Amino acid sequence: MQKKFFLLVIITLYLFVLSGCWSSKEITELMIVTGMGIDRESDTGEYKVTLQIINPGEIASQTKTERLEVTTYQTTGKSIYEVMRRFSTEVPRKMYLSHIQLVIFGEELAKEGIGKSLDFISRNNEFRTDFFILVSKGSRAEDVLNVLTPTEASPSVSLYSSINVSEQIWAPTKGVHLDELLNTLVSDGKQPVLTGVKVSGDKDKGDEVSSLEQIKPAAITKITGFAAFNKDRLVGWLTEKESKGYNYIISNITSTVGTIPCEDGGIIALEVKKAKTELQSNIKSGKPSITIKTNIEADLGEIQCDMDLTKMSIIKQIEEDAGKQVQTLMEHSITKAKEEFKSDIFGFGEAIHRQHPKAWKKIKGNWEETFPDLEISFDINYDIRRLGTISDTFQKDIK
């Protein structure tokens, strides 16, 4: 008993000493990467990776110097993993990828296909899955990462929060996480979209502190409409309106504001509180069709024309107009996807797959060809719930 006990104690003590701290890494030994940009060099075909890192010493208020809070590093290589290791030749510490906020693909690379570069990101254990994946519109990914932001120390963190906020209150935005992207990539009834981002302003000046020393920065990053993909290749861009239509179709509206014109040339603004869309698929003699059923609840937020809101018929009229407008939005984005992209970004195929799995087996082989001819009908139910603190507008009484 006594011997066994001692043995146990000794073994336990060994456990401490032998294991040491083998997987520990001090914060001060890490470079916290917040943004990653992937481009392809057109001449060599190598990947060019841009990493935006935090410079913690500059964030601590006591030891502030003239240096910036963020820095970007760039290296090229044939594989992304290789590039990540090559960074050690330039950077004094280990690149720490767990806190990446954004992965941005350059437009050129996206057109060639992002599938191959996604492998590293999904395989590496340091990546969390809560970062957003974006495509830079009209520029390279590095350009986006090289723009300084006025309010947030790290531009990546700034863009990340901007996507989060915008997704809540502005219909045309949607952030895409890694797992969602991978799921749509491998599913055969839906094609991925990614958030677009662009640099507006003078992108050559955006990386200088002087850009922030004026009230209106020389360049800012801006979320734009969606980048539509076919498989892993970028096939085109949705405009703001089309993006809004897209979000209505995939039921990704939390809250937004829509405007409709009224008879005497004014504008009615409606705050959408709740929007729910269901895709209903029908198979008629082997031919699929889709009904988009949307229920929208909205509050009347602003009215600039002379209308008697106390009348039920007027409200009904507004509801109908607003419903029609949402339908137009949807139709626009569907037409673009059908005619321009030839890519089922809305997941109509998936809806058919879910509701008519047997029929889907027959269709799925040539879905890409059938999709542009897919018959789509709408069933929109627009509901105005509240009129705000006044009912009838006072504008007609202004003399």
Partner 1 sequence: VGLSGKFFKAKLQPSQNQSNQISEQQKGFLKESIQTNLDDNLTKLKDLLGNSSDVVFRTFILSGKRSIHLAVIYIDGLADSKAIQHFILESMMLKCEEKLQQSARADEFSIIKDFSITIGEIKTVNTWEDVSNSIMSGDSAVLIDGYAEAIITGTKGWQDRGVTEPTSQNIVRGPKDGFSETLRTNTALIRRRIRDVNLRVESKNVGTVTKTDIAVIYIEGIADPEIVKEVHSRIDKINIDAILESGYIEELIQDETYTPFPTVYSTERPDVIIANILEGRVGIVVDGTPFALSVPAIFTEFFHASEDYYQRADFSTLVRIVRLSSFLLSLLVPAAYIAVTTFHQEMLPTRLLISLAAAREGVPFPAIVEVLIMEITFEILREAGVRLPRAVGSAISIVGALVIGEAAVTAGLVSSAMVIVVSFTAITSFVIPAYNFTMATRMLRFVFIGLAATFGLYGIILGLMALVLHLCSLRSFGVPYMESFGPFNMEDQKDSLFRFPMKKMLTRPKLIGTTNKVRQTQVDQYEEKK
Q: Which of residues 78-117 bind partner 1 (CB under 8 A)?
A: 96, 98-99, 101
Is residue 268 within 8 A of residue 304, CB to CB? The reply is yes
Is 67 among the residues that bind partner 1 (CB under 8 A)?
no
- Interface pattern 248-277 for partner 1 (x via CB under 8 A): ------------------------------
Which residues does residue 276 pair with via DSSP β-bridges, in sequence order?
Answer: 295
- Does 149 help bind partner 1 (rule: CB under 8 A)? no
> How many alpha carbons fall within 13 Å on the CB side of residue 216?
3
The residue from 16, 66, 151, 366 that contacts partner 1 (CB under 8 A) is 16
Single out the residue of 91, 153, 283, 305 in contact with partner 1 (rule: CB under 8 A): 153
Amino acid at 53: I
Sign of CA dihedral 211, 215, 216, 220: positive
Nearest distance from C-beta of residue 13 to partner 1, angstroms:
11
User: What are the Cα distances from residue 159, in Å, to 4, 97, 253, 385, 397?
Assistant: 60, 17, 20, 34, 45
Q: Which of 25, 276, 385, 386 contacts partner 1 by CB under 8 A?
A: 25
Smallest distance, Å, CB 396 to partner 1?
51
Q: Which among 115-123, 153-161, 235-243, 361-369 is the span making contact with partner 1, rule CB under 8 A?
A: 153-161
Applying CB under 8 A, which of residues 34, 136, 195, 247 lies at the interface with partner 1? 34
CB of 91 to partner 1, least distance (A): 15
Q: How far is the CB of 32 from partner 1 (least distance, A)?
A: 6
Q: Does 54 bind partner 1 (CB under 8 A)?
A: yes
Cβ nearer to partner 1, comparing 153 with 182: 153
In sequence order, what are the residues at sequence separation of 6 or more whose Cβ sits closer than 8 angstroms to the Cβ of residue 162? Answer: 223
- Widest Cα–Cα separation across the chain: 103
- Sign (positive or negative) of CA dihedral 184, 102, 204, 87: negative
Examine residue 179 and tell whether it contacts partner 1 (CB under 8 A). Answer: no
- HEC string of 75-102 equals EEECCHHHHHHHHHHCCCCEEECCCCCE
Q: Is 57 in the site for partner 1 (CB under 8 A)?
A: yes
d(CA 296, CA 158): 31
Half-sphere exposure of 299 (CA within 13 A, CB side): 11
Of the residues 67, 78, 85, 128, which one makes contact with partner 1 according to CB under 8 A: 128
User: Which residues, other chains included, contact 341 with Cβ-Cβ below 8 Å and sequence gap of 6+?
Assistant: 228, 230, 235, 236
Asked if residue 154 lies in contact with residue 70, where contact means CB atoms within 8 angstroms, the answer is yes
Nearer Cβ to partner 1 (101/343): 101
The least distance separating partner 1 from the CB of residue 143, rounded to whole angstroms, comes to: 23
- Where does this chain bind partner 1 (CB under 8 A)? 1-2, 5-6, 16, 19-21, 23-28, 30, 32, 34, 54, 56-60, 63, 96, 98-99, 101, 126, 128, 153-154, 157
